[in-house]
Amino acid sequence: MAAERIERRVLGALAPLSRATASPVSAPLRVSSEQARVRRNRAGLYVILAADGLEHHLDAFEAPPSAPAPGSLAVSFRIEDPRGRFLPRRLTLRLPRAPDPAAEDSLFHPVPVLLYPAATAPLSPNWSRIRVTLRRAGEPLRGALLRVVRLPDETVIASGISDPRGEALLIVPGVPVTRFAEEGETADGATPVVMNRLPVRLEVSHRERDWPVDPDRLEAEHAADLATSVELALRTGGSERVALNLT
């Protein structure tokens, strides 16, 4: 029996990553879209096999059709973790992807999709974590973006999102056991000393949105939606608890 050769062009792929560790999420997820058809492959990527408005792309191998233009269609996806370790999220992807392998938005480059930890996510003993309860007018506040900003260099080192119960978990790997204080950290301006805590600022931004939220949009609009902040000091493997009532 002669082997049958089947060739099919795909439109791109999604690569789920942990927001906390930037490592690939290998466990199966539910990825759905009303505008596209997706299938998980053996590498753990979610391959976009078809999408509304791009039917002619599927059989074009020499060159993609001239229309629609690259990035002109917005396709929405919903991603859920059946195990509940990551929060559900929305994603909007611009299609078609660029056909040039050297382009930043090339269809040959899987799109990284960050998944944010659920409040019940498993933790490593060495990770620092911040558990936050958010409320507004006494009611749980969902869909808020929380950022951990390292001081004094203002580097964002972690992000989290509040769930429908108003609970958020921020995981901060890599907090050093001891470190030298930087200029400006000591209250009296003395020579820097060895410290075992990392000063950070916890920032909270919020705007009413449907659940689940699109974290990419929240991150992009964080500065405009900033509601409050509080300074903390983290230690290796330590846990901080914060309760905030936004007005």
pLDDT by residue for the chain (247 residues), tens digit each?
555 544 567 899 999 999 999 999 999 999 999 999 999 999 999 999 999 988 876 665 556 666 788 899 999 999 999 999 999 999 999 999 988 888 888 988 999 999 999 999 999 999 999 999 999 999 999 999 999 999 999 999 999 999 999 999 999 998 887 655 665 555 555 555 556 789 999 999 999 999 999 999 999 999 999 999 999 999 999 999 999 999 8
Q: Which CATH superfamily is domain 128-246 in?
A: Carboxypeptidase-like, regulatory domain (2.60.40.1120)
The SS3 call for residue 223 is helix
Q: In the numeric block, which tokens belong to residue 52?
A: 């509304």
Q: What is the Cβ-side half-sphere exposure of residue 145, based on CA atoms within 13 angstroms? A: 27
Whole-number Å distance between alpha carbons of 13 and 137: 42
> pTM here?
0.87
